[in-house]
Amino acid sequence: MTNRLLLALETIVSWLDKQQAPYMIFGGIANSIYGNPRQTFDIDVKISVPSKNEKVDFIEQLRKIAVVLPEDPMQFITETSVLPVTIHEVRVDLVFAQLPFEELAIERSRRKQFSSITMNVCSIEDFILQKAVSTRQKDWDDIETVTSIQKENIDWQYLLQHCRDAFRFPERCHHTHENSKHAMKSQTNDTHELRNRMNRFNAWEQSYIKQLSEEERFKQFVELFELSMSSDTATVEKAHSEHIEQLARIARAVREKKRRTV
């Protein structure tokens, strides 16, 4: 059986490379590459498409390989900075870079391999920075795990500097020049707005996941399990543990559904 996740990943990466679009893979796949496999059946791509006209053209070209999920994609992007699509029945979340640190992250991305697919992947430092905007506990758990695994490979000076720049609060800096305070306040407001957009998308995502049938979720489970079995021993053991928990949740949902129909 062809793994749909790999097929979708190969399709979107090949298309973006041909379009010469600045992009990077982050999220769950980057998590796996950096030693912390997450059992999520989607693909996260950050892209740089600055103007509205470029976005409109990008979406039209994208429709040739993907099903665009929002009825009004431009409005959805305005509200969330994300365009969710499906490719080979796999959800691909295209996240449009809004802030300087996101654009820089794309510039710093590196060619890496996942399974047999070579693509642009965010650096370890930028993986952590993308996660740090989130308010979800699982994202902070990922930061802790990847930091522990990759601590010898992290550019700590770059990471800490950009953490300070993106997330500092100017009201705590009593001796800072007024112009610097204004710049930091603007940057902090931008970060808060980015977080608000992420929260709006997360709410949409939860609604989308709830609409998936137990059969589709089980199918995803099987494909993820097969994919994880090709990894190293430590990854396989971690994936096995997570899969058992996920399978138990699916089994409970199926059992509850049957109980309600009796």
Calculate what percentage of the chain has a pLDDT beyond 90.
Answer: 46
Here the CATH number for the domain that contains residue 25 is 3.30.460.40
Asked if residue 245 and residue 166 are part of one domain, the reply reads no
Please state the separation of Cα 212 from the chain's center in Å: 19
Tokens 């500097």 locate to 161
Reference 10, options 124, 114, 82; nearest CA is: 114
Asked if residue 229 and residue 141 are part of one domain, the reply reads no
Q: Mean pLDDT over residues 197-225, rounded?
A: 80
SS3 content of the chain, % helix, strand, coil (to 5): 65, 15, 25
Q: pLDDT value at position 171?
A: 37
Asked if residue 40 and residue 103 are part of one domain, the reply reads yes
Q: pLDDT value at position 176?
A: 37
Higher pLDDT, 37 or 16: 16
Which of 191, 210, 229 is the endpoint of a domain?
210
CA distances from 104 to 15, 27, 76, 126 (A): 22, 17, 24, 9
Asked if residue 206 and residue 218 are part of one domain, the reply reads no
Higher pLDDT, 255 or 89: 89
Higher pLDDT, 50 or 49: 49
Q: Mean pLDDT over residues 20-46, rounded?
A: 89
Q: Are 41 and 260 in contact (CB under 8 A)?
A: no
Asked if residue 180 and residue 60 are part of one domain, the reply reads yes
Higher pLDDT, 179 or 77: 77
Asked if residue 145 and residue 95 are part of one domain, the reply reads yes
Q: CA–CA separation, 93 vs 217, rounded Å?
A: 18
Asked if residue 56 and residue 106 are part of one domain, the reply reads yes
Q: CA–CA separation, 34 vs 218, rounded Å?
A: 26
> Which among 178-182, 186-190, 225-229 has the top mean pLDDT?
225-229
> Which among 120-124, 145-149, 227-231 has the top mean pLDDT?
120-124
Asked if residue 100 and residue 220 are part of one domain, the reply reads no
Q: What is the pTM for the complete model shown?
A: 0.78
Band (pLDDT 50/70/90 cuts) for residue 45 is: very high
Q: Mean pLDDT over residues 85-102, rounded?
A: 94
Q: pLDDT value at position 1?
A: 46
**Residue 228 belongs to what domain range?**
214-261
Residue 243, pLDDT > 70, answer no
Higher pLDDT, 225 or 186: 225
Which of 210, 230, 250 is the endpoint of a domain?
210
The mean pLDDT of the chain is: 82
Asked if residue 254 and residue 226 are part of one domain, the reply reads yes
- State how many domains the chain has: 2
Q: pLDDT value at position 235?
A: 56
Asked if residue 255 and residue 195 are part of one domain, the reply reads no
Which of 210, 228, 245 is the endpoint of a domain?
210
Asked if residue 237 and residue 143 are part of one domain, the reply reads no
Asked if residue 195 and residue 174 are part of one domain, the reply reads yes
